[in-house]
């Protein structure tokens, strides 16, 4: 698999006509290079493939900052450990999972939120983040957050992105960039936390018993993934849900004496294996390993069940929050705030700390088949670079 290549260009010493004359094979690329000159310095995509992100708050890097919604993280103390020490819209004290994966695959910077006014020009070549906090697989998930980018809308914006990219680099190069990109999709947890179990006797819980609801969510997720494939995605990391019943919010609202919520844990135990089976079926249908399953439930369980083995003092109490386990309400400037975020597995009532995110990404990169199926990201990168 050959990756689209463009050079670091700030001042071009040799005339471009000399470069074009040097080889007939180089002529197409030279025209591509000429087109890119107005954008200034450009990073080499031979070393760092483009990266696209879809999903919910676990991977949102700030799209919701530009939407009229309460599902946002654009106020302190969010971002307290981010390089700028300022909130960015990431639901983290620092870097989130897309940031860390981006570093691992050689990106010079993280893909910008698609809605950012700075997302233009050469930024399109790095990739884009379409994720939006509060969304689920289902369109009715997160209705309380009103104006969020539901999954169908994220895919519409991806189509729009492809048109914008084609207008800049041509349809052939745009097609290559998308085909050779890495895609991460993290969605599904909100379909339980912010839908089925949002309130007692929710509409979905009256409509479906839990096993049937899980099958329904999986079937709808399959449609989304096939749509993503038809839009050109060829390497897609798909994360399962974490141990939903063990996050500080659920310990505070549903747990008993510090134990995890049995119902939400049951939902995770039903959902995650069926997700893996569905991905295996898609790969078999396509005839290639397009979809890679990341067992984030197991990744989380490692440090949730034995936090001290990973350098945490607790996996029950959030660093930022209030009430039991700091699990109630939002993380705000009025919340309790721990002095050392690296000692806490959870940053706020729902989201892992940067340190926990780093542990998750290490397993995504190098984890065994128990964590990554059919292969980890390091294997994918090595395979793709050798083709």
- pLDDT reported for residue 385: 83
Cβ pair 100, 358 in contact under 8 A = yes
Catalytic residue among 6, 300, 351, 373: 351
In the block, tokens 């979809």 appear at: 291
- pLDDT reported for residue 50: 98
* pLDDT, one tens digit for every residue, the chain (387 residues): 433 333 333 323 333 333 333 333 333 433 343 334 333 333 333 347 999 999 999 999 999 999 999 999 999 999 999 999 999 999 999 999 999 999 999 999 999 999 999 999 999 999 999 999 999 999 999 999 999 999 999 999 999 999 999 999 999 999 999 999 999 999 999 999 999 999 999 999 999 999 999 999 999 999 999 999 999 999 999 999 999 999 999 999 998 888 999 999 999 999 999 999 999 999 999 999 999 999 999 999 999 999 999 999 999 999 999 999 999 999 999 999 999 999 999 999 999 999 999 999 999 999 999 999 999 999 999 999 876
pTM over 0.85: yes
Neighbour tally for 146: CB within 10 Å: 12
Residues 6+ apart with CB under 8 A from 278: 218, 221, 222
The verdict on whether 30 is a catalytic residue reads no
Alpha-helical segments (H) within the chain: 16-21, 27-36, 97-104, 151-169, 171-179, 190-191, 203-207, 210-230, 248-253, 262-286, 296-305, 354-366, 377-386
Token readout for 191 is 């379909």
- pLDDT reported for residue 387: 64
The verdict on whether 118 is a catalytic residue reads no
Catalytic residue among 56, 99, 289, 348: 348
The verdict on whether 175 is a catalytic residue reads no
Cβ pair 90, 74 in contact under 8 A = no
Catalytic residue among 6, 56, 57, 300: 57
Q: What is the C-alpha to C-alpha distance for residues 153 and 356, in angstroms, rounded to an integer? A: 30
Reduced to 3 states, what is the DSSP secondary structure of residue 172? helix
């Amino acid at each position: 698999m050959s990756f689209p290549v463009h050079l670091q260009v700030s001042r071009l010493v040799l005339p471009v006509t000399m470069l074009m004359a040097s080889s007939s094979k180089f002529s197409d690329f030279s025209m591509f290079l000429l087109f890119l000159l107005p954008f200034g310095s450009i990073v080499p995509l031979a070393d760092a493939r483009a990266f696209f992100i879809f999903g919910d708050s676990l991977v949102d890097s700030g799209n919701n900052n530009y939407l009229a919604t309460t599902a946002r993280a654009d106020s302190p103390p969010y971002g307290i450990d981010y390089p700028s020490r300022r909130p960015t819209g990431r639901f983290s004290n620092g870097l989130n999972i897309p940031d860390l994966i981006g570093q691992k695959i050689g990106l010079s910077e993280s893909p910008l939120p698609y809605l950012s006014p700075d997302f233009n020009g050469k930024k399109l070549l790095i990739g884009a983040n379409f994720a939006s906090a509060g969304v689920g697989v289902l369109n009715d998930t997160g209705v309380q957050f009103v104006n969020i980018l539901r999954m169908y809308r994220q895919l519409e914006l991806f189509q729009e992105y492809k048109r914008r990219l084609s207008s800049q680099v041509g349809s052939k190069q745009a097609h290559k960039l998308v085909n050779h990109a890495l895609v991460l999709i993290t969605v599904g947890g909100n379909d339980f936390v912010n839908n089925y179990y949002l309130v007692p006797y929710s509409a979905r819980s009256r409509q479906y018993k839990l096993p049937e609801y899980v099958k329904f969510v999986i079937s709808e997720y399959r449609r989304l993934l096939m749509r993503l494939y038809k839009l050109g995605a060829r390497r897609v990391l798909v994360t399962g849900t974490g141990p939903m019943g063990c996050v500080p919010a659920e310990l505070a609202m549903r747990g008993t004496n510090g134990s995890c919520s049995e119902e939400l844990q049951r939902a995770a135990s039903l959902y995650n294996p069926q997700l893996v089976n569905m991905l295996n079926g898609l790969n078999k249908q396509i005839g290639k390993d397009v979809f890679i399953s990341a067992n984030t439930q197991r990744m989380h369980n490692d440090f949730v069940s034995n936090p001290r083995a990973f350098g945490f003092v607790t996996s029950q109490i959030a660093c930022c929050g209030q009430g039991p386990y700091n699990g109630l309400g939002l993380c705000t400037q009025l919340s309790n705030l721990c002095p050392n975020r690296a000692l806490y597995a959870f940053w706020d009532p729902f989201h892992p700390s940067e340190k926990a995110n780093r542990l998750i990404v290490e397993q995504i990169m190098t984890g065994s088949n128990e964590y990554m199926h059919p292969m980890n990201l390091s294997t994918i990168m090595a395979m793709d670079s050798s083709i």
